[in-house]
Copies of this chain bind each other. A is one copy, B any other.
Amino acid sequence: MGFLDGVKVVDFTHAYAGPFCSLFLADYGAEVIKIERVDGGDQARTWGPFKNDYSAYYASFNRGKKSITLDIKSKEGQKIIYDLIKDADIVCSNFKAGTLEKYGVGYEQMKQVKPDIIYATISGFGTKGELSKYPAYDNVIQAMSGIMDVNGFADKGPTKIGPAIGDSYTGLLLLLGLMIAFHHRQKTGKGQQIDVTMLGALFGLLEYPVLEYANNGKVISRSGNASHYVAPSDVYQTKDDYIAITVKDDSQWKTFCSILGLPDTEEYAINAQRLDNQAELKILIEEKLKDYTSKEAEALFDGSSIAVSSVMGIAESLENPQLLARDMVIEVEDPVMGPVKLVGNPIHLSENKPVTNIPSPTLGEHTDAILQQLGYTEEKISALKEAKVI
């Protein structure tokens, strides 16, 4: 029994941010009805990686959902949406602000039909203000938020965070908003609107650089792998590769010196001294580490309280027994792709297990069934297909 069993979601999301949110709703048992364009559906269906010419990307973020195609620009398409809304609980979208309103299915409009609907939107900049009309994309939001300026090395330009966390992190914030709103509705019977922005989400992750500038006027920019506050905390070259190490205080520093055979001199006894001499320290440390492979270096710290890890590529990470034991790599039997490996759900609850083995829908797979449930006759359905409304 999923804890969202019986909850119906009308899901206008596409690409990454929105689907990442509604994926969790599906995992916990909600009926997620994904509205897709008649002509091709969600753009993520064209995004790699592919297996049997089908998008594993789409499959990963849309497993467990249902797909109905409809033309949101047509009056009849909009009527279907209202038919769906009548007994829905949640609406999600990550269109540019104003898009759903333009098609007559905005929050104010939907509220007329379903007063307690929970209406949740992700956008780049929010529903109000000058920027709300602009298109957003993960790298553009990263640039504007300031996060690109604090990622990467000082001697390189601003650096995009590899994975699109402007999408994923914002998706998770929307999900959190949904959980709060859902709880509020159960308590009070009232629906509400949730408006989460990619810009606000990434800004909210900046931590000390924003606090330092806002309060002390001090600019902190990117510093590569080195910490601004703790030393040594960096990534070091070894005989064969790289290793990440953090020595979190003066007591660990003594341990670190004795393990690596570094002289435990007075000039580096205090964290502030080590911070002031990071470049020299790095040379000393790498001089010692060049005698070991990353794995050998890792083993040196076994049993100490110092946090270390060799830097792993995706291939190695995928074999980590700790991740596999936690079902972070799942195999789903897909009707098009056959067995496909997807990413699991990282939240482990002892009482609420996610359902992760239902494949993603083919485009419009559930159109007929959903419309039949809504009372549409076969003739009507055929006519709508003919007219390319569905």
Query: A residues touching B (Cβ–Cβ < 8 Å)?
Result: 3, 16, 24, 28, 47-51, 56-57, 60, 124-126, 128-132, 134-137, 139-153, 156-165, 168-169, 172-177, 179-184, 186-188, 190, 192-197, 199-201, 203-216, 218-225, 227-229, 233-235, 237, 242-246, 248, 305-318, 320-323, 325-326, 328-329, 340-352
A-B contact pairs, 9 of them (CB 8 A): A3-B184, A125-B322, A126-B325, A139-B246, A143-B235, A149-B317, A161-B162, A193-B349, A215-B340
- Are B214 and A329 neighbours in the complex by a CB distance under 8 Å? yes
Q: Which residues of B contact A186 (CB under 8 A)?
A: 186
A188 to B194, CA, bound (A): 27
Mostly, the A contact residues are mixed
A229 to B16 CA separation, bound complex (whole angstroms): 14
Given contacts A162-B147, A352-B180, contact A244 B328 (CB under 8 A): no
Among B179, B322, B346, which residue has its beta carbon within 8 angstroms of that of A204?
B346
- Nearest CB in chain B to that of A348: its residue: B195
Chain B residues positioned under 8 Å from A57 (CB to CB): 207-208, 211
With A150-B314, A312-B143, A326-B126 as known contacts, state yes or no: A306 contacts B192, CB within 8 Å.
no
Q: Give chain B nearest CB distance to A253 CB in angstroms.
A: 14
Given contacts A143-B312, A190-B351, A204-B343, 6 further A-B contacts (CB under 8 A): A47-B229, A143-B243, A143-B309, A143-B310, A162-B222, A199-B320
Interface pair B192/A349, CB less than 8 Å apart: yes
Q: A200-B328, A321-B129 are in contact. Are A206 and B343 (CB under 8 A)?
A: yes
B149–A215 touching, CB < 8 Å: no
- 3 closest Cβ contacts across the A-B interface? A146-B317, A143-B244, A214-B341
Residues of B within 8 A of A205 (CB): 163, 165, 168
A308: nearest residue on chain B (CB-CB)? B140
Q: Which of B145, B201, B221, B246 contacts A140 (CB 8 A)?
A: B246
Shortest C-beta distance, A183 to chain B (Å), equals: 6
Contacts of A60 in B (CB 8 A): 207, 211
Contact among B204, B210, B313 for A221, CB-based, below 8 A? B313
A35 to chain B, nearest CB (A): 20
- What residue of chain B has the Cβ atom nearest to residue A213's Cβ? B314
- Are A200 and B131 closer than 8 Å at their CB atoms? no
B215 A56 Cβ-Cβ under 8 A: yes
Q: How far is the CA of A314 from the CA of B158 in the complex (A)?
A: 12
Give the residues in chain B near A318, CB-CB below 8 Å.
146, 210, 213-214
Chain B contacts for A344, CB-based, 8 A: 204
Query: A294 CB to closest chain B CB, in angstroms?
Result: 9
When C-beta atoms are compared, the residue in chain B nearest to A146 turns out to be B317
